[in-house]
Amino acid sequence: MLNISGWIGETSKWSYVNNDVPLLVSSAGHYKVLTTPKYTTYREKGRTDYQILYVASGVATFVFDGQSQRLHAGSFVIYKPNQTQYYSYNLTDKTDMYWIHFTGNSVEALLEKYNLSDKQVYIVEASTKYIELCEKLIYELQLKRYIFSEVTAVMFLELLGHIARDLQKRKEIYDETIEQALVYFHKNYNTDIALEEYAKKCNMTICWFARQFKNRTGRSPKQYITDIRLSNAKILLNSTDKTIGEIAEMCGYENQLYFSRVFKKYVGISPREYREAKQ
């Protein structure tokens, strides 16, 4: 295990709290798994200070509320005071990780300002700028030159600024992607939409696409498409004399019986009963 780190003093090697200043970076370091099969950190009661970790390359495994999550390069994890910390690095995952401990009376306000207070995991594009900033932080803490604590605080704010900016840029890209998906679904709802392939074209995994889509609409992509189909089916049942089989096909269902089951599941009555009730 490669372990390079810097500290403001001996006491900062453990949880260090200083509420007399707005922001203080107490320690920073770099872990890289080279030979150890597995390295695990478990702090049931967390630390009394704040910690941010950055996966520079490879994969790291974190456990949040009993659920394991594998985070890839470009992932930031923020631990607040007294939050359980449970994460591990495996040799086979080639984990390369940077960490920073920080404290101060303005930390919560700063995290809120940079939109980094409501979650623990933030994912951006992996970038050398984060590595360079972390390396500079470590270097300053090792050398302890004149006003190094002020310099490291500024560097840390720059790091938070880059994260916030990249997250906003990522959000704008995702928002535009989801808007395009909404238009596409409304135009092609009666075709066989392969969601996994569509997500891949958007440079997203299906899980990530579904999560972003639900954040925007409150529904999964599959449910959204179903809602469009059923909404149009209701219109056709009310305004045309077409058979239920024809309407099913027009709305993207090749099997009339399946269409009827889906319709009844979400509407509460069968297509035939719905048509009769509206007459």
pLDDT in tens, 134-179: 999 999 999 999 999 999 999 999 999 999 999 999 889 888 999 9
pLDDT at 119 over 70: yes
Q: What's the CA dihedral at 208, 163, 72, 140 to 10 degrees?
A: -170
- Per-residue 3-state assignment (H helix, E strand, C coil) for 76-131: EEEECCCCCEEEEEEHHHCCEEEEEEEECCCHHHHHHHCCCCCCCEEECCCCHHHH
User: Residue 94 CA to chain centroid, in angstroms?
Assistant: 22
Output the pLDDT for position 108: 97
Q: Where are the domains of the chain?
A: 2-169, 189-279
pLDDT of residue 204: 85
pLDDT bucket at 45, cuts 50 / 70 / 90:
very high
Mean pLDDT for 71-97 is 94
CATH 1.10.10.60 fits 189-279, yes or no: yes
- Check pLDDT > 60 for residue 11: no
* Cα gap 97→131, rounded to integer Å: 9
115: left (phi over 0), alpha (psi -120 to 50) or beta: left
- Of 20, 27, 38, whose CA–CA distance to 5 is shortest? 27
The CATH architecture of the domain made up of 2-169 is Sandwich (2.60)
Output the pTM of the full model: 0.75
**Residue 259: how many CB atoms within 10 A of its CB?**
22
Least confident of 10-19, 148-157, 259-268: 10-19
